[in-house]
Amino acid sequence: MPKRSLRQQILARRRALSHDQWLASSRLAEQRLLSLEEFARADCIALYAPAHNETDTNGILEAAFLAGKRVLYPAVCGERMVFRQVEGLKSLAEGSFGILEPCPTGIDHHADEPDLIVVPGVAFDLGGHRIGYGKGYYDRFLQHPGRNAHLVGLCHDFQLIDGAIPAEEHDIRMEVVVTDQRVVHVER
């Protein structure tokens, strides 16, 4: 199925989630992510603020702070995306595309700093490929030559498809995909 059709289909299904369905799925996915060795070992993690029924990350943020980890969130600056450190949800305000972002006066961090990057997506496949919203912000950010972070896709289980997502050379694959129902470690 072409990316555009798959994107529309999955986004429609995600928009149809009730608040209770979204919350229950998010909590299960968050718990699965928190049980990963990659999370336990990370000193600095990059999260995202959910939009349009993306899997929530607030529980991961709280657990990271309790464990003494540094936490970064993305901010869109023109055609590029940067990450900035946050001290909690109150550090976020509505930014580009109506998504919560860190304060614009914070220090920009590059992809070589986090040990773990939690990546949102519209759809993922079992090979770790993802479809985003089509703007390429994450793909460009993750191209950083010094990036050593573990990449974990986080989504509702219906967003993890059995078939292969059409991939392009510049697309970055996830190492792990976590849903409310399973954890998939991608073979390299």
Domains and CATH numbers, the chain: 3-185 (3.40.50.10420)
| 77 Cβ contact partners less than 8 Å away, ≥ 6 residues apart | 108
Residue reference for tokens 């920009």: 108
Q: Within 10 Å of residue 104's Cβ, how many Cβ atoms? A: 11
Q: How confident is the model at residue 136 (pLDDT cuts 50, 70, 90)?
A: confident
pLDDT in tens, 84-110: 898 877 777 777 777 877 877 777 877
Helix (H) or strand (E) holding 175: none
Please name which of 117, 142, 122 lies closest in space to residue 133, comparing C-alpha atoms: 122
The partner residues of 74 in beta bridges, in order of sequence, read 83
Residue reference for tokens 């299904």: 13
Lowest mean pLDDT among 96-105, 147-156, 168-177: 96-105
Return the higher-pLDDT residue of 144 and 24. 24
- Residues 182, 171: Cα–Cα separation, whole Å: 23
Q: Within 10 Å of residue 163's Cβ, how many Cβ atoms? A: 10
- Residues 25, 158: Cα–Cα separation, whole Å: 11
Q: Determine if residue 97 is left, alpha or beta; phi over 0 gives left, psi from -120 to 50 gives alpha, anything else beta.
A: left
pLDDT in tens, 58-81: 999 999 999 999 999 988 877 788
Residue reference for tokens 């079992």: 126
